[in-house]
Amino acid sequence: MQLYKIGVPELAIGPLVSKLKSSLYIGPTLWLVSGGSNIPISVSVMQALDSDLSANLTVALTDERYGQYNHPESNWTKLKNSGFDPKRAHIIEPLKEDTSAGLDSITAYYAAELETALDNVNTAIGQFGMGEDGHIAGILPQSPAARELPGIITSYASEPYTRITITFNGIRRLNCSFLIAMGASKLPQLERLISQDLPLSDQPAQIIKQIEESFVYNDQIGGRN
């Protein structure tokens, strides 16, 4: 795990663009993007990718908020509304336009689509944020997702959203991760992440330590690579 202190989140854009480009030049690449404060970063990163190069890219979400297709709290809806232009990339949306599909059906569908993508790319890169409680993707501490599950996607009811999320098992399938966590409120969890090896159920963000290559960008702590 490599730690970098940056003044503003935009300084993480260049390294992520560089990693994606180098991967795309080699072959098909999967990029898992996150919601929340990471959305503007994802928009800018996508803008920096050439259209021709984007044809080698598959984009999916680390987690989604279950509901009707295109509902206003959907991470994918927020991403699109923020100006995310996939260009020629292949997009895997968790929610289906068939509004009759239930949670179990949608979870199984997204798991199958993501499994196919992982099986057919050279490199899988995850872009994550971290919550003030230490959660990553849609894996909240002590939630049903904060357990060792056999599949790569799971879903569960929580407040205020029912969540569809990648699992620890799915995150382990990634070749590289970028964790971008900004703000003084993240300092306690960053200190725990860096200095302690905690159970994943207590601090799900610990999972990035199990990825071959992981980078942490923040504005609180630096110099501990």
Query: What residues contact residue 143 under an 8 Å CB cut-off, 6+ apart?
Result: 156, 158
**Does pLDDT of 224 surpass 50?**
yes
Mean pLDDT is lowest, of 17-21, 61-65, 82-86, 158-162, for 158-162
SS3 170: helix
Residues 112-124, mean pLDDT to the nearest whole number: 98
Q: State residue 189 phi and psi, 5-degree precision.
A: -70, -35
Query: What residues contact residue 11 under an 8 Å CB cut-off, 6+ apart?
Result: 217
pLDDT at 207: 98
pLDDT at 225: 44
Give the pLDDT band of residue 96 (cuts 50, 70, 90): confident
Per-chain mean pLDDT for the chain: 96
**Does pLDDT of 57 surpass 70?**
yes
Domains annotated on the chain, with CATH: 2-218 (3.40.50.1360)
pLDDT at 223: 66
pLDDT at 101: 81
Task: Please tell me the distance from the alpha carbon of residue 2 to that of residue 225, in angstroms, as a whole number.
Answer: 4
pLDDT at 136: 98
- Report the percent of the chain where pLDDT is more than 70: 98
Residues 186-207, mean pLDDT to the nearest whole number: 97
Task: Please tell me the distance from the alpha carbon of residue 10 to that of residue 45, in angstroms, as a whole number.
Answer: 10
**Does pLDDT of 44 surpass 70?**
yes
pLDDT tens profile 146-189: 999 999 999 999 989 999 999 999 999 999 999 999 999 999 99
Kindly give the pairing relationship between strand 162-166 and strand 153-157.
antiparallel
Q: ∠ CA 58-61-169 to the nearest 5 degrees?
A: 95
Give the pLDDT band of residue 222 (cuts 50, 70, 90): confident
